[in-house]
Amino acid sequence: MSQSLLDGQAEAAPGPARPLDPRTPSPAGRVTGLRQALRFVLRRPGLLLSVVVLVLVVLAAFRPELFTSQDPLKGVPSQNFRGPSGSHWFGTDELGRDVFSRVVHGAQLSLKATLIAVLVAFVVGGLLGVVAGFTGRWVDDVLMRFVDILLSIPALFLSLAMVTALGYGTVKVAVAVGIASVASFARVARAEVLRVRQAVFVEAARSSGARWYSMLARHVLPNAAGPVVVLATLDLGSSILAVSALSFLGYGAPPPAPEWGTLISDGRNYLSNAWWLTALPGLAVAATVLATNRVARALDGERGRRP
Amino acid sequence: MRRYVIKRLAQAVGVLWAAYTVSFLVLDFLPGDPVSAMAGAGMDSGQVDPARIAALRHEYGFDKPVLAQYADHLGRALRGDFGDAVSTGRPVTATLADALPQTLRLTGAALLLAAVLGGGLAVLATYTSRRWLRQLLLSLPPLGVSVPTFWVGLLLVEAFSFRLHWFPAFGNDGLRGLVLPALTLAIPTGAQVAQVLAKSLLTALDQAYVETARAKGAGRWRVHLRHALRNASLPALTVVGLLVGQLIAGSVVVETVFSRDGLGRVTAAAVTAQDIPLVQGVVVFGALIFVSVNLIVDLVYPLLDPRIVVASDRRAGIA
């Protein structure tokens, strides 16, 4: 979260305006673009690995039965505290439940929470930013001061305050995390709208008599969306971390649910005799975040390089 | 200069007031009714005594109109009175003040570690002429921001407390007990310091004055540290201001992992107990720390770079 906060400020800093490229790619250009993108990924082993990890995580979220046939909730008490082995890749927990299957099934909860968080931040923040940037004047002042205030409260504290008010649960935690990163989205969206609004083709549209809503929908939004979408991908990684931190603290889904943060905090009680209960689920979280961040950085770099 | 200081101070006060208002709105008007939460604290839901609710409503002033409540609360908050914590009955301010020293020690140590580790990494990565070492060093910060802090903390406990028995696994005892939590807290922060510093160092090394210094025959280390690092540390300093807020918030997780007493534990307990006055106190306090550190950074800035004041007088600063 705080990382995106920094990004947001970097974006908001006044700098040389990037020139706009209103050309739309032709169908042929799109095919070569796809081939180029493929070559770009294949040339970078780290990026390729990240894409593979992400695909696996998304698959695990939608079709957990592809990865494991074991029930994440049903344990075999006689087989508790087994270390990682061929039949139990991540070992078993205190009730004899298969930890790998719990991690795989947990992907769904954690991914859902992450997507909700990013969506809340994207929609609320984007809306604030677009309204502020497009309306200007006192509306802009009021909205952006409000955003400054959100930025001055440390993200986790803001999330915790939201959790206190809303209560526990996966969705509520996700909303709380999303609200905490609204501010950076609002800043980037506003900066982009301001940049696009001054472009020649927007002026041309206005002078040829376009209404404000068609100007907004046809010219400003499509051209301003890119950086905000990139910010959303950058925000995914930190949202996974924030959601899992809140569920580690015990504000997520109630106990039997295998949320990633909850898994790690459960394993905490058996740290001295069963290292795999914390180490391996944590590894899954870390790998997912690392992969997300790598892909997001690649997208960010792409945007930066293209004029 | 004086106008600059007064302006920044006024902005800081404005932001604090607004942070208080936002936390008031969030906590007092969102769905969860604070009073039934308070009255229900510690017992099963559904057993809440209506008389107790009415009494609590009156005690906390919830039976008054919203604006009157707000004015009343704000007036008391200005005098440093955030009410009493519901779960313990102690004043919020005293609870926070008691918890603060432990957390300041933790975050201070973590900030120091983050600056030393992150700064050292950035300097080394930009100094070395070995490609593999540079790539290895530069791949560490992205790793550092991607690992969950609580997981790192638990792994450190596992390795250094349970296997090697070098450091205690939990508690507040002395310096030895501080090492693992501070390291845990320092990792994401240090990684961000390293990222920012490495970037600005690379920019600085491309500047003409570095070329001049080299041409005059200054050694590589001297150019790197005296000329480039000095100028490159300004952006890193700005980030430190932002990171302090993150460190204070990070103490919630780290203190829970290591079972240390402090502000973070108080916060976690307050959220669990839905102790609204206490949570509000923590939020406003977090904003206070954030705003003061950034104020200090902003005031130190012109001393390091005299051009700042001129620039900020022209452009309205961002609080």
pLDDT in tens, chain B (319 residues): 678 788 888 888 888 888 888 888 877 765 555 565 555 554 444 556 677 777 766 766 666 677 777 777 777 777 777 777 777 778 888 888 888 888 888 889 999 999 899 888 988 888 878 888 888 888 888 888 888 988 888 888 888 877 787 777 776 677 777 888 889 999 999 998 888 888 888 888 888 887 888 888 777 787 777 778 877 888 778 777 778 888 888 889 998 888 888 888 888 888 888 888 888 888 888 888 888 888 888 788 777 776 665 555 444 444 3
pLDDT tens string A184-214: 899 888 888 888 888 888 888 878 877 778 8
CB-CB under 8 Å, B280 with A264: no
CATH of region B98-272? 1.10.3720.10
Inspect the interface and report whether the beta carbons of B32 and A165 lie closer than 8 Å.
yes
Let me know: does A101 contact A66? Beta carbons within 8 Å.
no
Q: Report the predicted TM-score, pTM, of the whole model to 2 decimal places.
A: 0.81
What number of CA atoms fall less than 13 Å from residue B301's CA on the CB side? 25
Handedness of CA A255, A256, A257, A258 (dihedral sign): positive
B91 bridge partner residues: B84
CATH among 1.10.3720.10, 3.30.70.3000, 1.10.8.640, 3.40.50.10190 for A54-63+90-305: 1.10.3720.10
Closest CA to B17 of B284, B283, B277: B284
Q: Kindly identify which residue of chain B lies nearest to residue A153, measuring between CA atoms.
A: B287
Angle separating helix axes A137-152 and A126-135, nearest 10 degrees: 150
Query: What count of CB pairs under 8 Å joins A to B?
Result: 161
Amino acid symbol at A163:
V
B59-111 pLDDT, tens per residue? 666 666 777 777 777 777 777 777 777 777 788 888 888 888 888 888 899 99
Contacts of A113 (CB under 8 A, 6+ apart): A170, A171, A173, A174, A177, A243, A247, A252, A259
Domain ranges in chain B are 2-64, 98-272
Tell the residue number behind the tokens 């590894």, with chain if given.
A283
Sort out which chain A residues have CB atoms less than 8 A from B32's CB and list them: 164-167
For B293, nearest residue in chain A (alpha carbons): A152
Helical packing angle, A221-248 and A126-135, nearest 10°? 140
Question: Which chain B residue is nearest to residue A270, measuring alpha carbons?
Answer: B158
- Distance separating the N- and C-terminal Cα atoms of chain B: 17
Q: A157, B148: Cβ pair inside 8 Å? A: no
CA-based nearest residue to B134, from B145, B147, B146, B121: B121
Predicted complex ipTM: 0.80
Task: Determine whether the interchain pair B282/A165 forms a contact, defined as Cβ–Cβ distance below 8 Å.
Answer: no
CB B171 within 8 A of CB B177: yes
Q: Which of A103, A152, A263, A275 to mutate to test the interface with B (most CBs of B within 10 A)?
A: A152
